[in-house]
Amino acid sequence: MQRASESRMLIDGKLVPASDGASYENINPATEEVLGRVADATADDVDAAIAAARRAFDETDWATNTEFRVRCLRQLQAALESEKEDLRAELVAEVGTPVMVTGIAQLEWPLAHSLNYFAGLIETYEWERELPDSDLFGVHSVRRVWKEAVGVVSAIIPWNFPFEVLIGKLGPALAAGNTIVVKSAIETPFNALRIGRLIAEATDIPAGVVNIVTTSDNNIAERLVRDPRVDMVSFTGSTAVGRHIQQIGAHSVKRVFLELGGKSAMVVLDDADLATVIPASAQACMHAGQGCALTTRLLVPRSRYAEAVAIATAVYQNVPYGDPADPQTFSGPLISRKQRERVLAMIEQGKQEGARVAVGGGIPEHLPAGYYVQPTLFVDVDNSMSIAQQEIFGPVLTVIAYDDSKGDAEAVRVANDSPYGLSGAVFSADQGRALAVARQLRTGSIGINGGMFYGADAPYGGYKASGVGRQNGIEGLEQYLETKTIAYVAG
């Protein structure tokens, strides 16, 4: 039986409306219709959620009972799987994600692995390790290193891949023994609130261990960063907001994990088969380009630039876009009118700076409702232009020539000439050559000749303005752990 979308928050084990009864609308970006309303948290609601998380960490055995945490994570996994199709429909409706994309990173991949991986990892993780005994000052000391939970974590979720990011934070944070307050994106609250209901109804997770709040007021949400009862902030979103969070968190010296923006390069070397490789550049339009890891700069050798542009033009003229519920759609709507206006302004700026629009560049006439922008291909782009340096977060690819007469070093130079360093790709007929180029790229993850790095076991994060820390893998678990060194006198 299909379950309706949830409108209530999870605070201290209870599903509750906002304390003042306020709510706000959730809008379908493909139709501009109201999907429903959700609780609009007050400052008191956020304070109550933080207090509940603090109490659950300080007064229960959640942080130390590994076996119990494993059981609870597996219960949540089963509950999510029982409502997978409802989640899928909900994501298509509120995120505007193509249903095709729910078959990969939007739903299927994280659902299959993000909780299961960490539940398994903590069963074998080395929570304590021995150091060699010490005889300093004539005292024979036995030394140990303990790994312990950080404490209360606030998790702030973006709107582009909300379920994927949320479950990717819950898995390691809860596995490590932390308690958590989740603030969903304003634009995509339903999936987070559904998870809250499932935690309350279908798991033994103690009251206060997980709290989920929704608010339309970023000033209220900011309390999750400022409050001294919060030990760590885990944020995924824009670099501008990440900088703001880092500044605020510095006052109480919080641990801050930031997974931020990207302007990733798809580097095509001069020996690559362009007819095979260039079509992969269409991934810049997946989910209307609303993915921080998407390779939105296509770097091609100048000696083959015309050939590459011709292939890319044909590809972009045929990118399937439109209704996200259509299984053939690859690029759906942008999340909001505001985001569409920003993307269109960036496209206009690219034109003014001298780049040429080869395909797209505007609002599709046949889609009068919804926040759509045509899949857009820019050519004659210099890497110093705004559209090559700034994250557009729309279905826009820039094609940039590099001087291959200077060798692979020039491709590396252009790829690294960016404030970001989140992801990237390298294509070459010579895998060893591609690996050598990848080694020189200042970025957190790289796919070589189509290789896929994604996985709950694969550390993910960025260099430079793309963030601090790593999500997933052993590094992702340890992101949520403190290290304590002890010594005692041998008896």
Q: Is residue 1 part of a domain?
A: no
Query: Do residues 179 and 134 both lie within one domain?
Result: yes
Whether residue 138 is found in the same domain as residue 233: yes
Q: What is the mean pLDDT of residues 423-447?
A: 98
Residue 1 has pLDDT above 70, yes or no: no
Domain assignment present for residue 134? The answer is yes
Does residue 123 carry a pLDDT above 70? Answer: yes
Identify the pLDDT of residue 112: 97
Residue 72 annotated among the catalytic residues of the structure: no
Q: Give 102's pLDDT tier (boundaries 50, 70, 90).
A: very high
* Residue of 6, 94, 164, 292 with catalytic role: 292
Whether 259 is catalytic is yes
In a domain, 367, yes or no: yes
Q: Are residues 187 and 314 in the same domain?
A: no
Q: What is the pLDDT of residues 246-300, one digit of tens each?
A: 999 998 999 999 999 999 999 999 999 999 999 999 999 999 999 999 999 999 9
Q: Are residues 301 and 403 in the same domain?
A: yes
- Asked if pLDDT for residue 215 goes beyond 90, the answer is yes
| Catalytically annotated residue among 164, 259, 285, 391 | 259
491 has a pLDDT exceeding 80 = no
Q: Is pLDDT above 80 for 85?
A: yes
**Full residue range of the structural domain in which residue 434 is found:** 264-456
Same-domain status, 242 and 274: no
pLDDT, tens only, 173-183: 999 999 999 99
> Three-state secondary structure along the chain?
CCCCCCCCEEECCEEECCCCCCEEEEECCCCCCEEEEEECCCHHHHHHHHHHHHHHHHHCCCCCCHHHHHHHHHHHHHHHHHCHHHHHHHHHHHHCCCHHHHCCCCCHHHHHHHHHHHHHHHHHCCCEEEEEEECHHHCCEEEEEEEEECCEEEEECCCCCHHHHHHHHHHHHHHCCCEEEEECCCCCCHHHHHHHHHHHHHCCCCCCCEEEECCCCHHHHCHHHHCCCCCEEEEECCHHHHHHHHHHHHHHCCEEEEECCCCEEEEECCCCCHHHHHHHHHHHHHHHHCCCCCEEEEEEEHHHHHHHHHHHHHHHCCCCECCCCCCCCCECCCCCHHHHHHHHHHHHHHHHCCCEEEECCCCCCCCCCCCCCCCEEEEEECCCCHHHHCCCCCCEEEEEEECHHHCHHHHHHHHHCCCEECCEEEECCCHHHHHHHHHHCCCCCCEECCCCCCCCCCCECCEECCEECCECHHHHHHCCEEEEEEEEECC
311 part of a folded domain: yes
Residue 131 lies in a domain: yes
Mean pLDDT (whole number) for 2-12: 93
CATH number at residue 307: 3.40.309.10
Whether residue 270 sits in one domain with residue 191: no
Question: Could you tell me if 236 and 324 lie in one domain?
Answer: no
What does the mean pLDDT of the chain come to? Answer: 97
Average pLDDT over residues 458-466: 97
User: Is 75 part of any domain?
Assistant: yes
Are residues 473 and 384 part of one domain? no
The verdict on 175 and 303 lying in the same domain is: no
Question: 28 lies in a domain?
Answer: yes
Q: What is the pLDDT of residues 17-39, one digit of tens each?
A: 999 999 999 999 999 999 999 99
CATH number at residue 216: 3.40.605.10
| Number of domains comprising the chain | 2
- Is 4 inside a domain boundary? no
Tens-place pLDDT, residues 154-174: 999 999 999 999 999 999 999
